[in-house]
Structure 1
Amino acid sequence: MRKLLYFVLLVFSFSSCAVAQEQTAQDDVYLFSYFKGNGDGLHLAYSMDGYEWKALKNDSVFLKPTAGNDKLMRDPCIIRGADGRFHMVWTVSWNEKGLGYASSEDLLNWSEQQFIPVMAHEPNARNTWAPEVTYDDEKKQYMIYWATTITGLYPETQSEKDDAYNHRMYYVTTKDFETFSDTKLLYEPGFNVIDASIVKDNNRYVMFLKDETREPAQKNIKVAYSNNLTGPYSAASPPITGSYWAEGPTTLKLDDKWLVYFDKYIDHSMGAVQSEDLKNWVDFSDKISFPEGMRHGSIFKVTKAEFERLQ
């Protein structure tokens, strides 16, 4: 009798665990941080399935930019840190030598906005574009990375078009967003590169990036890999996007399927591709919906309770 009772309790325990895990998955809500226009501030959209995205707060601004001289907020990237807080970095200007940073516990009340002068040491740096932040759970630190043109570097890929920008990816690391390492080169793929977005995939890191080459025009999304967050990263893959111009990739993994979203900025719309192996990609732009006028940003998850507070 005791053995039978133990067996019943064991089965019930496993069943309850399965339900709890399923419930936890259902409790997650996907949020997409984005901007509109030239960088009006932080907007948030939500989705339950990764396909239909709707704006929160009637598409109004959650946070207006105050950092930097030009006070823009473009390319907002938000992650939940190891401390449980939400950490955000963004582009503050087309031509300043730093980036914006703020943090929040609830996405409603934000810390004082900071300007972090990550390229101030470089006299020939022209800009600091599309910063992102990724947490390194092995080294217990964050890496902030962005694209910068340094006049005179990499003349072999220089073009006079696109205002002669010729970017490479750079980074700093930090444990507390108060002190930062020296700025270092992150990725030199042999072409003009911007808009890197890095996620961990088991024991490796996957970098989605934009090939910004103008002559002959690429303007597409590619993929590179590394065993370490700070690199070195592999050569870039063939394009995973189509003949349209695309930028600002961000990714969401649903079960075994990779979904990569991006900005079809010439067409004034958002696009997306999906893959199960990171090699073979299918365009499913016609199956997704986004708020009108949305520009690119990043995807992260919140709980149902956190989501309800945002409403």
Structure 2
Amino acid sequence: MRNNFLKCLLLLLMTAFIFSCATSKQNKTLKYAAYLMVYFKDDDHSLHMAISTDAKSFTDVNKGKAVIAGDTIAEQKGIRDPHIFRGSDGTFYLSMTDLHIFGKEKGLRKTQWERSDDYGWGNNRGFVLMKSKNLINWSVTRVRVDQAFPGFEEIGCAWAPEVTYDDKEKKLMIYYTMRFKNGKNQLYYSYVNDDFNKLLSLPKLLFQYPKDISYIDADITKVNDQYHMFYTPHDGTPGIKQAVSNKINADYVFNDTWIDPEPKACEAPHIWKINDENRWILVYDIYGIKPHNFGFMETTDFKSFKDLGHFNEGVMKATNFSSPKHAAVISLTKEEALRLAKHWGMDLQFKN
């Protein structure tokens, strides 16, 4: 009987190992054919999705209407700054700022912000974290940074959370903008559990800007053995800069070069790879113009960037929506894109 038990145990371990190897290689073997953009709008503070088959023309899956209403998932009845990440096992992770900046105007609260002006603009304290296997059915968790760890009760904001995977620590890493009371905004990171509903580690500083100013909205992309972090310093007119490191959460080297060509203020940089090509597209939110819009740039080496213009003012098109805010983009397989489109009644066509 003991021998049979050991044989069964060995078989189970071998099966688990084979499954683990297979899922860890899943992203490398998937054939990507489309792109999913997530964004939000100021007028509804809700989650929106758009699909593209060519990385240039994006069509909203729900004709410009929200796919998930912010007042159904957020403590403050609104979300901002959505980011989407695909895990190696095919799981999708959405992270968003739990904040409605027009809460008073919409009758959601009696004051401009939840707390006094001593805590500064916005002064929220948490995120909305969501997890899905199919981009349609999502688990939802509200995470309050001020309640997660002693000593963080007086934070002034928790904004623009993004998720990646730390290969060294074998953990999901969430990084975000945070400040204490009404001090300067800086970039921090924590680890988050696999269930995507709990912060595991104290917030730590991700990057130190050399000037005593606010800097926000980090976006990290691994290319070969280096991590490229785009972010927005409020160093004069806010715009986009890049810092590079060989570590995911430390030793980013400051570079004073402005990446964007915009004369007006912009923020929320995000970069994504073109399927099967050595090209990346950088998108950012130009909030300093009216109506606000996205700007786009293209790079092959992360050193030189080609200006692609704005949505519907160049090669990049938004076919059935306007005034998007804070985008993030991932690649989808043809099957994933068609399933999502079918769910929302969208007629998605592929050329081949």
The answer for unaligned runs of 5 or more in structure 1 is 1-22, 152-163
Match status 1:86 vs 2:92:
yes
Q: Deviations 1:128-153 (Å, cap 9, x if unpaired)?
A: 111111112333211101111224xx
What is aligned with 1:288? Answer: 316
- 1:224/1:234 contact within 8 Å kept: yes
Go from structure 1 to structure 2 and tell me whether the alpha carbon gap of 1:97 and 1:236 turns closer, same or farther (over 3 Å shift): farther
**Unaligned regions of 5+ residues in structure 2, if any?**
1-28, 100-121, 342-352
Q: Establish whether residue 147 from structure 1 lines up as the match of residue 153 from structure 2.
A: no
**Separation in 1 of the partners of 2:43 and 2:173?**
26
C-alpha displacement of 1:67: 4.3
1:226 CA drift (Å):
1.2
2:164 to 121, 134, 149: 134
Q: Report the Cα distance in structure 1 between the residues aligned to 2:208 and 2:43, rounded to whole angstroms.
A: 28
* Aligned-pair CA distance for 1:165: 5.8
Equivalences for 1:85-124 in 2 at 5 Å? 85-93=91-99, 94-111=122-139, 113-120=140-147, 121-124=151-154
Q: Quick one: which of 293, 300, 311 aligns to 2:330? A: 300
Change (3 A) 1:100 1:186: same
Alignment of 1:64-79 (within 5 A): 64-65=69-70, 66-79=72-85
- Comparing 74-83 and 175-184, the one that deviates more: 175-184
**Equivalences, count:** 272
Check conservation: 1:73, 1:90, Cα contact below 8 A. yes
Structure 1 letter corresponding to 2:273: K
Q: Does 1:222 align with 2:241?
A: yes
Cα pair 1:38 1:72 within 8 Å, conserved = no
Please tell me whether the aligned partners of residues 285 and 295 of structure 2 are also in contact (alpha carbons under 8 angstroms).
Answer: yes
- The normalised TM-score by structure 2 is 0.72
C-alpha displacement at 1:87, in angstroms? 0.8
Tell me what 1:253 maps to. Answer: 273
Give the distance between the partners of 1:98 and 1:133, measured in 2 at CA.
15
Compute the TM-score of the two structures, normalised by the length of structure 1: 0.82
Where does 1:1-311 land on structure 2 (aligned, <5 Å)? Answer: 25=31, 27-37=32-42, 40-65=45-70, 66-93=72-99, 94-111=122-139, 113-120=140-147, 121-151=151-181, 166-176=184-194, 177-179=196-198, 180-190=200-210, 191-213=213-235, 217-242=236-261, 243-254=263-274, 255-267=277-289, 268-285=292-309, 286-290=314-318, 291-311=321-341
- Structure 1 residue 76 displacement after superposition: 0.7
The equivalent residue for 1:3 is: none
Aligned-residue offset at 1:166: 1.9
What CA distance in whole angstroms lies between the structure 1 residues aligned with 2:304 and 2:204?
32
Tell me the distance in 2 between the aligned counterparts of 1:183 and 1:52: 38
